Amino acid sequence: MSTEAPKRDQWQWENATAGAAAGFATVAVMHPLDVVRTRFQVNDGRVSHLPIYKNTAHAVFAIARSEGLRGLYAGFLPGVLGSTISWGLYFFFYDRAKQRYARNREEKLSPGLHLASAAEAGALVSFFTNPVWLVKTRLQLQTPLHQTRPYSGVYDAFRTIMREEGFSALYRGIVPGLFLVSHGAIQFTAYEELRKVIVDFKSKGSTVHNQNPDKLLVSERTLDPLNSEIHLYWTIYISQMIF
């Protein structure tokens, strides 16, 4: 009996675990900036329960002063839950899709199939996690100036939304979320193609010629989404500090 199937299954779970760990680490470190970003995005000066912030630094200090550390980490539980699940599921679905497309194929996957695999994984993750992101955003927008009864926590938010707005409310924003899947799909396609080039280049000067570019160290799998998220938040931070 071939040992390839058990190895593939083990690799899928290793990738999923690495992605989940990266998602948790990212949120734990960068969540306060995510709170600030969310409030900047919805505050056009006409929202009465949100203070006016001059820039990112002012927002961080203002939230810390008026709401404490709890304000900076508003929505942390659904944020860390959503990010951990998202990255874990993304790598799992992505590897499964690649294996399905690679079945009965001797050549390496084309960029188009990598793009399809990443888009498929992203769409599935969006459907699974959209309710979590919606609750996270609503918790982040709660301030002491909030005029309606605030949610007491994640469970209360889910229960209140389901009771007052219905199940469909949990999937508000799913359509633009599905369009944003293209971001990850393009990123992973470029990532796979560049990795092939690097592996092929290294293999030319090596005595080992059976390297598989579809196998990546777990540590690299962990750092890839983490670096991507840090780059995203850092870009937002710089732009808001300037403007």
What is the predicted pLDDT for the residue at 43? 74
In angstroms and rounded to an integer, the radius of gyration of the C-alpha atoms of the chain is 21
Q: Which of 185, 193, 176, 189 is nearest to 119 (CA)?
A: 185
Domain of 157, CATH number, reads 1.50.40.10
The H-or-E segment that residue 50 falls in is none
Q: Which residue has the tokens 């955003």?
A: 137
Total tally of structural domains belonging to the chain: 1
Instruction: Record the pTM.
Output: 0.67
Q: Which of 30, 133, 155 is nearest to 81 (CA)?
A: 133
8 A C-beta contact, residue 188 and residue 91: no
What is the predicted pLDDT for the residue at 130? 94
The number of CA neighbours under 13 Å toward the Cβ of 144 is 9
What is the predicted pLDDT for the residue at 239? 36
What is the predicted pLDDT for the residue at 149? 73
What is the predicted pLDDT for the residue at 106? 75
Domain that holds residue 216: 4-242
Report residue 147 as tokens. 């005029």
What is the predicted pLDDT for the residue at 128? 93
What is the predicted pLDDT for the residue at 218? 46
What is the predicted pLDDT for the residue at 206? 61
What is the predicted pLDDT for the residue at 238? 36
Q: Which residue has the tokens 């409030």?
A: 39
Q: Which parts of the chain sit beneath pLDDT 50?
A: 1, 208-209, 216-219, 221-223, 226, 229-243
Range 174-193 burial, b when 16+ CB lie within 10 A, else e: beebeeebeebbeebbebbb
What is the predicted pLDDT for the residue at 224? 52
